[in-house]
Structure 1
Amino acid sequence: MALVQTGFKLTSGVYRGLDWLAPLGDLLLRLYVANVFWKAGQLKIQSWDSTLYLFREEYSVPLLAPELAAYIGTGVELFFPVLLAFGLAGRFAAMVLFVFNIIAVVSYPTLNAQGIADHQLWGLLLGLLILRGPGKLSLDHWLWPALRRRIDV
């Protein structure tokens, strides 16, 4: 019985330590995914003529004219990663990027296996953020309780 108690105490301590580190993990997860999309948006605005060419010739975004798709796609990649990084409307930002990620895969039929694997990873990480929320090291964590009190939800 003493061995079981010792094992329980050790694992309890490890679990408490992991619980303490979890907000940092949530932050790093948000920053990693936000950085991926932010860099893609930065690349698009650095060479706008190339971006327009790609949207006209390579990508086939459903239901949108290529120029409109280029503007919307670039806007999504520059705006929502900032929200995600700060954890402001974190779940909403993650949902938008999750859908955007799916559209990117569908719109680029010649995406190679590594590209598909990357998008699957980003989708999985965004799914975790949607389910768990942005965590304690986020603006949502600090602002949401005050907002809920203010509107009596």
Structure 2
Amino acid sequence: MNAVVHSLQGVRSVARGLEWLAPVGDLAIRLWVANVFWRSGLTKIGSWDTTVLLFTHEYSVPLLPPETAALLAVVIELVFPVLLAFGLAGRFSALVLFLFNAAAVVSYPALADAGLRDHTVWGLMLLVPLLHGPGKLSLDALVARRWPAPSR
């Protein structure tokens, strides 16, 4: 019986250590997925003519002219990853990028299996800040500590 109690204490100790690391994990996820979208936005503005051609002939974005869709994509990919990386409006930023990621999959039917796997991983990574918030190492957490919400 003593060995079982000792084992349970060890498990609890490991769990406390993992809880301490959770904010670092939240930050790592935010930075990783933000970097993916940021680099994609930089690629789009780096070759604007090619980007517009892709939105004209490859990507099937409904209801928007190709130039507008390309501009919207660049704005989303350059603004929201920064917000997500800093954890400012973290849930909203994750939601925008999650929906953008889903739209990218739907609007590009020629996406290969490897590309679909990448988009799936990014979508799952975005679910972490979307469902749990950006974590303790975020501007959202700093703002909440500095200016707590009024009690009801």
TM-score range, shorter chain: over 0.9
The question of 1:82 aligning with 2:82 is answered yes
| 8 A Cα contact 2:26 2:128, kept in partner | no
| 8 A Cα contact 2:51 2:70, kept in partner | yes
* Aligned-partner SS, 2:78: helix
- Structure 2 residue runs of 5 or longer lacking an equivalent are none
Moved over 6 A (4+): none
Give the paired residue count. Answer: 152
Match of 2:127 in 1: 127
Match of 1:106 in 2: 106
Amino acid at match of 1:54: L
Amino acid at match of 2:41: G
- Structure 1 residue runs of 5 or longer lacking an equivalent are none
Shift of residue 8, structure 1, vs aligned partner: 0.9
Deviations 1:51-99 (A, max 9, x none): 0110011101111111000000010000000000000000000000000
Amino acid at match of 1:27: L
Amino acid at match of 1:37: F
Percent identity reads: 56
Shift of residue 147, structure 1, vs aligned partner: 4.1
TM-score (norm 1): 0.95
Name the CA distance, whole Å, in 1 between partners of 2:136 and 2:59.
Answer: 38
CA RMSD of aligned residues (A): 1.2
Match of 2:70 in 1: 70
TM-score (norm 2): 0.96
Shift of residue 145, structure 1, vs aligned partner: 4.2
Amino acid at match of 1:112: A
Match of 1:93 in 2: 93
The question of 1:136 aligning with 2:129 is answered no
Match of 2:12 in 1: 12
Shift of residue 36, structure 1, vs aligned partner: 0.4
